Amino acid sequence: MKHLLSILAFILITFGVQGLNHFVVNVAHYENIDFARAEPIMALGFLTMIVQGSILTLALGYLAPKGARIKDAMMVSLSFGLFLGFYIAVTEPAKYAAPSIPAWIITEGLASTIQFLLFGLVLGFVHQRFSKGPK
């Protein structure tokens, strides 16, 4: 149950944060990217969120099999978030013709930070609530 809820939470948080970032807050930023699709393929995005959420919740379960604390979940989420977010924020504008590298780094870095901070909190609450070990 905790893994399914964690995956669902990851999808909701990711879609909420990244959706707001791409389609509401930073629309002009993304409209200036020449390599972006006019219509994103949402199914691939959801598949990615399911895989990433699965990896995160299973990693936490593996690292804290007797019960995870919020601190443990934050460490897992922020570690994976740093790994993924750093690639998105720094490597992508090095490979693609981003209109502004500093704007790209700030926009993507901030969105990733918010996403993985929020998810770390929720992941910790879910694992605490549904773990059978000591809390």
- The Cα–Cα gap between 54 and 49 comes to 8
Question: 92-106: per-residue pLDDT in tens?
Answer: 889 888 888 999 999
Q: Give the pLDDT band of residue 110 (cuts 50, 70, 90).
A: very high
Residue with tokens 């002009």, as numbered in its chain: 28
Q: Tell me the domain boundaries of the chain.
A: 2-130
- The Cα–Cα gap between 18 and 128 comes to 26
How far does Cα 79 stand from its chain's mean position? 11
- The Cα–Cα gap between 46 and 7 comes to 11
pLDDT of residue 132: 65
Residue 86 near residue 113, CB atoms below 8 Å: no
Please name which of 8, 31, 13 lies closest in space to residue 107, comparing C-alpha atoms.
31
Question: 55-105: per-residue pLDDT in tens?
Answer: 999 999 999 888 889 999 999 999 999 999 999 999 988 988 888 899 999
